[in-house]
Amino acid sequence: MIAARFTAPLLGICLMASSTFAADPAPEKDLHSFSNPEHLRVKSLFLQLDVNFETRVLTGDAMLTIERVSADKTQPLVLDTRGLKVLSVTEIAGDDSVDAKFVLGKVDPILGQSLTIPIRANTTMVIVNYKTSPNASALQWLSPAQTAGKKKPYLFTQSEAIDARSWVPCQDTPAVRFTYKAAVKTPPGLLAVMSAGNDPEQKRTGEYSFEMNQPIPSYLLALAVGDIAFRKVGPRTGVYAEPSVVDKAAREFSDLEAMVKACEKLYGPYQWGRYDVLVMPPSFPFGGMENPRLTFFSPTIIAGDKSLVSVAAHELAHSWSGNLVTNATWRDFWLNEGFTVYIERRIMEEVYGKARADEEAVLGKQTLVKELAELPKSDQILHIDLKGRSPDSGLSDVPYEKGALFLKHLEGVYGREAFDKFLKSYFAHFAFHSITTATFAKYLDENLLRQGDPTQRAKANVDEWLYQPGIPAGAPNPTAPTFAAIEAQARDFLAGKTEAANLPAKKWSTQEWLHFFDSVPAKIGTDRMKDLDAAFSLTTSGNSEVLFQWLLLAVKNDYAPAYPRLESFLTEQGRRKFLQPLYEELVKTGDGKARAVAIYKKARPTYHPSATLSIDAIVGGKEK
């Protein structure tokens, strides 16, 4: 693939007017899509799907309303697909509907296959009749045994970053936004929900219709089907989950309304109507996914004490950063995630207080610093080069924590009041548009940097933050007063001055525990591991983040009593954030590798395709 910028052709002026945001100085080609939105744009989608749990196939039609946006009326429509079986394509112009020819391109291991449809100049709609593959990369089909209720099967999608194309033929680039409607047929007794309007009162008829009348990028297309119940949490918020999980989930997320209000106060109205969340079965590969109007959550964030609800603040924050103002290509991913982590902490501060937000900022910077030590320089850059690589390879703490740190830095230079005002105007200005890093930089320059004095502008140091590796000098250094005591206690424990049993850790919060783990070296020895475990039953911790850090330490220290729990943790949930580091740590030693292979053999069939893709690379190919 070649990183080709759109050098706007002579005729490109009118092209820009409707296809990209007018303020975008240099729209960049999305290297991760075959589509040609510079010529043709999908404006709306009507999706008709039959969900078949026996064959693990979705069958149906994608009706795409399209618009030509360039002077070249001979251009074919090019869509992205992966593993789709295209049965027929119809093109419609006015009353005239004809079979269209189509060509599926050769399979690219990262991008899938282009679907090229030569259409007439005046065609306004294309209907693709198709089937998904049983191993579609976005879809996970769960047997009843893999659900909480054990009685009914479950299906869910995960489209970000470039997997929408494995269940919907589309212009699978975040640069293109479209509205959608869907009609979904399921077996009786199951409920379907989507990233669209969902009616909390919906009866389980097996036939469901949805409407998303605000334009969204393809990676926000989402569907889940299963034995799903609903609980109201607030006037416009609610929780969907399997019946045995839904009450506990509703208690954990009882602050959703307060979070929405906090974010609205800072950055302007919540624009999407309802904000509901869906707690997924444990194999969900992420902590959360910001599907509009219906965030998907891993059940591992339900700790019982709201200690992990920052993930909820995070996914809610995406309703502004990401869903309203979207990264135009995956190299601008930090615009989605860096802004979101910054806003997540602002919400946490509003709802749970400054101490909690500060603690989380410290933990975030610590993970960033650790990760930077391992990453090649080129991957330490916010505006990352992904040429020839999957967007997945850009998934590190850099877009998240370095991105958030950059915004925190700007907040520091210009003061909170000015920066809040700037962000609010940014969301209003770019709402429902997809933008690049360059567009952001230009807007920042015009609306914040040039408003201040030149010393502030120099301090802001924007180019280094955006385009250079590492953490620039003068970066914020978050501190949390509560953590000093933890560091002292960790030191005394390591020096043998305090026994494990005498640590005041029964009173530690989740964040204090996490800081304790950050404050001890990789190798503390099995004796100390044993003492800690005896005093605080860490191996049986019900808090997924604490357990994850503990199990990582257990592998590093070859602490055998934790191995059965390690195995159950790796087989009972499928969050990539937990799986990847644990498998990576395991394969470092001969015994560990054997353990990893044995566990993975059992666990692999329970993971989502996006998780197996990354774990295959760690544990070494398919273990079937």
Q: Are 16 and 22 in contact (CB under 8 A)?
A: yes
Min separation Cβ 105 and Zn ion, Å:
31
* 229-232/207-217 β-pairing: unpaired
The active-site residue out of 242, 315, 401, 585 is: 315
Amino acid at 469: P
220 DSSP assignment: G
Q: Residue 368: which H helix or E strand, with range?
A: helix 354-372
**How far apart (Å, rounded) are the C-alpha atoms in residues 493 and 374?**
28
When CB distances are held under 5 to 8 angstroms depending on the partner's kind, the choice from ligand BES, Zn ion, none that residue 413 binds is none
The verdict on 579 binding ligand BES (CB under 6 A) reads no
Gyration radius of the chain's alpha carbons: 25
**How far apart (Å, rounded) are the C-alpha atoms in residues 65 and 126?**
7
Best CA proximity match to 237, nearest among 212, 216, 262: 262
Burial 264-288 (b: 16+ CB within 10 A, else e): eebbbebebebbbbbbbbbbbbbbb
Min separation Cβ 295 and ligand BES, Å:
9
Q: What is the 3-state secondary structure (H, E, C) of 435-490?
A: ECHHHHHHHHHHHCHHHCCHHHHHHHCHHHHHHCCCCCCCCCCCCCHHHHHHHHHH
The verdict on 330 binding ligand BES (CB under 6 A) reads no
Tokens 């964030």, residue?
301
When CB distances are held under 5 to 8 angstroms depending on the partner's kind, the choice from Zn ion, ligand BES, none that residue 160 binds is ligand BES
The verdict on 160 binding ligand BES (CB under 6 A) reads yes
Q: Where are the beta strands (DSSP E) in 274-402?
A: 275-279, 288-289, 294-297, 325-327
When CB distances are held under 5 to 8 angstroms depending on the partner's kind, the choice from ligand BES, Zn ion, none that residue 350 binds is none
Give whichever of 81 and 310 is closer to ligand BES, judged by the CB atom: 310
CA 280, 286, 287, 289 torsion-angle sign: negative
When CB distances are held under 5 to 8 angstroms depending on the partner's kind, the choice from Zn ion, ligand BES, none that residue 409 binds is none
Beta-carbon count within 10 A of 499 CB: 12
User: CA neighbours within 13 Å on the CB side: how many for 50?
Assistant: 8
When CB distances are held under 5 to 8 angstroms depending on the partner's kind, the choice from ligand BES, Zn ion, none that residue 577 binds is ligand BES
Min separation Cβ 575 and ligand BES, Å:
7
* 294-297/139-142 β-pairing: unpaired
414 classed as catalytic: no
Min separation Cβ 337 and Zn ion, Å:
5
Of 246-254, 285-293, 369-377, 495-503, the window that binds ligand BES (rule: CB under 6 A) is 285-293
When CB distances are held under 5 to 8 angstroms depending on the partner's kind, the choice from ligand BES, Zn ion, none that residue 286 binds is ligand BES
Q: Where are the beta strands (DSSP E) in 94-199?
A: 96-99, 103-104, 113-117, 125-131, 139-142, 154-157, 177-185, 191-194
The verdict on whether omega for the bond into residue 161 sits within 30 degrees of 0, i.e. cis, is: yes
Min separation Cβ 203 and ligand BES, Å:
31
The verdict on 30 binding ligand BES (CB under 6 A) reads no
Tokens 């009706």, residue?
63
Tokens of 472: 């620039």
Min separation Cβ 371 and ligand BES, Å:
13
The active-site residue out of 154, 400, 443, 559 is: 400
* 154-157/139-142 β-pairing: antiparallel
Give whichever of 193 and 289 is closer to ligand BES, judged by the CB atom: 289
Min separation Cβ 294 and ligand BES, Å:
13
The verdict on 345 binding ligand BES (CB under 6 A) reads no
Tokens of 351: 């709802």
Min separation Cβ 609 and ligand BES, Å:
12
Give whichever of 191 and 551 is closer to ligand BES, judged by the CB atom: 551
Give whichever of 156 and 400 is closer to ligand BES, judged by the CB atom: 400
Considering only 177, 293, 314, 433, the residue that binds ligand BES (CB under 6 A) is 314
Give whichever of 326 and 380 is closer to ligand BES, judged by the CB atom: 326
Give whichever of 227 and 315 is closer to ligand BES, judged by the CB atom: 315
Min separation Cβ 318 and Zn ion, Å:
6
270 classed as catalytic: no
- Interaction with Zn ion in 327-346: which residues (CB under 5 A)? 337, 340
The verdict on 290 binding ligand BES (CB under 6 A) reads yes
Min separation Cβ 337 and ligand BES, Å:
6
Q: Backbone phi, then psi, for 457, in 5-degree steps?
A: -60, -40
When CB distances are held under 5 to 8 angstroms depending on the partner's kind, the choice from ligand BES, Zn ion, none that residue 465 binds is none
Q: Judging by beta carbons within 10 Å of its beta carbon (0-12, 13-18, 19+), is residue 493 exposed, middle or buried?
A: buried
**How far apart (Å, rounded) are the C-alpha atoms in residues 374 and 359?**
24
* SS3 (DSSP) at 123: coil
- Interaction with ligand BES in 503-532: which residues (CB under 6 A)? none
Give whichever of 543 and 557 is closer to ligand BES, judged by the CB atom: 543
The verdict on 403 binding ligand BES (CB under 6 A) reads no
Min separation Cβ 587 and ligand BES, Å:
22
Give whichever of 27 and 391 is closer to ligand BES, judged by the CB atom: 391
**How far apart (Å, rounded) are the C-alpha atoms in residues 207 and 223?**
14
The verdict on 343 binding ligand BES (CB under 6 A) reads no
**How far apart (Å, rounded) are the C-alpha atoms in residues 410 and 552?**
35
Give whichever of 16 and 618 is closer to ligand BES, judged by the CB atom: 618
Give whichever of 152 and 365 is closer to ligand BES, judged by the CB atom: 365
Of 208-216, 312-320, 354-362, 486-494, the window that binds ligand BES (rule: CB under 6 A) is 312-320
CA 462, 468, 473, 479 torsion-angle sign: positive
Q: Are 166 and 137 in contact (CB under 8 A)?
A: yes
Considering only 286, 443, 465, 559, the residue that binds ligand BES (CB under 6 A) is 286
Residues forming a β-bridge with 296: 278, 289
Considering only 395, 435, 466, 611, the residue that binds ligand BES (CB under 6 A) is 395
Considering only 28, 242, 337, 411, the residue that binds ligand BES (CB under 6 A) is 337
Tokens of 327: 């990264």
Show the site string, 454-483: x = touches ligand BES by CB under 6 A, - = not. Answer: ------------------------------
The verdict on 405 binding ligand BES (CB under 6 A) reads no
When CB distances are held under 5 to 8 angstroms depending on the partner's kind, the choice from ligand BES, Zn ion, none that residue 512 binds is none
Q: Are 575 and 285 in contact (CB under 8 A)?
A: yes
**Catalytic machinery residues:** 315, 400
Q: Which residues bind ligand BES (CB under 6 A)?
A: 160-161, 286-290, 311, 314-315, 318, 337, 395, 400, 577
Q: Which residues bind Zn ion (CB under 5 A)?
A: 337, 340
